Amino acid sequence: MLTPETTEFIAGLPKAELHVHHVGAASPRIVAELAARHEGSTSVPADPALLETFYDFRDFAHFIEIYLAVVDLIREPDDLWALIHGVGRDLAGQRVRYAELTVTPYTHLLRGFADAEFCEIIEDARHRVEADFGTTLRWCFDIPSEYGVAGADRTLSVALDQRPEGLVSFGLGGPEIGVPRGMFTSHFAAARAAGLHSVPHAGESTGAETVWDAIRELGAERIGHGVHSVEDPALLEHLATHGITLEVCPTSNIRTRVVPSMADHPLPELVKAGVPVTINSDDPPMFGTTLNQEYAVAAELLDLDRDGIADLARSAVRASFLAPEGKSALIAEIDAYAG
């Protein structure tokens, strides 16, 4: 059990967040407000108190179903802007100085947003977040795997044709089962050729072979989740040797039931194998957590003291796609805080 002093230390620690989805990070207040705007045409409760039950996921497939119901609430430009700005405010409240926010353009384009309009809205909200709260946001444009090649084609088109200033990486989310990573090899090759970093999800609800596929076929520089890498010692060695970071989200893995319990979580085994990891919140309100709470969970799983917790924060900065001068400044801020 962490002491109050350690919890307070985590709360004040400057951080980077590398794996958080824009819709999944929307606070209950924002989601309830959006549901109220569209009452009668959504299954999402307009009462924040009812969202906890709504977010009780039976399995990963049910999580995707609920996630898409929340996505469907974002129908107007003001909905999207308010969501991004609110997420930025919540991140800043946890001393997140820099965040790479995963957005899924295709699901919004299906609901009537034009390519340029979508990018203009998120960019305007990003600049306002930095001006209002001091938190720097960058984007990962994410293929929703459930839409197959059509979704990938459109996501790549928006990324390369619009190329918003804040875009740094190209990802792949959604269901893993039945969706081979190799289906998207050409999309990732084009994104990488254009200078975007490769950060697909893999090894979350499927095994180690999916992580291998993400590395070999998608050129992954970081892996979203990747917790089932523990099934393959050769893969662990490869990740450690090549410095491929896993974006680990402990509570998410329990809530989506891809790991049976926190006692079974493979984070300690990954760290013991020398695999670089970062700690992240994924879809925090949906999973009843925050980034600060995920740091607390990791501290208990890894038996970390304050220095070890600060090292987690430094690791996230080093694994980020922040410019070198920005990395140096944020690590210096962590060092100054940790003493």
Q: What is the mean pLDDT of residues 232-237?
A: 98
Confidence of residue 337 (pLDDT cuts 50, 70, 90): very high
pLDDT of residue 15: 98
Q: What is the pLDDT of residues 184-199, one digit of tens each?
A: 999 999 999 999 999 9
Confidence of residue 30 (pLDDT cuts 50, 70, 90): confident
204 noted as active-site residue = yes
Q: What is the pLDDT of residues 92-116, one digit of tens each?
A: 999 999 999 999 999 999 989 999 9
Task: Please give the Cα distance from 304 to 297 (Å, whole number).
Answer: 10
Pick the catalytic residue: 100, 204, 217, 247?
204
Q: How close are the terminal C-alpha atoms of the chain, in Å?
A: 23
Q: What is the mean pLDDT of residues 79-101?
A: 96
Confidence of residue 71 (pLDDT cuts 50, 70, 90): confident
**For domain 4-334, which architecture applies?**
Alpha-Beta Barrel (3.20)
Task: Please give the Cα distance from 290 to 286 (Å, whole number).
Answer: 10
Contact 224, 278 (CB under 8 A): no
pLDDT of residue 1: 76
pLDDT of residue 29: 87
Q: What is the mean pLDDT of residues 75-92?
A: 94
One-letter-per-residue 3-state SS of 105-139? HHHHHCCCCCHHHHHHHHHHHHHHHHHHHCCEEEE
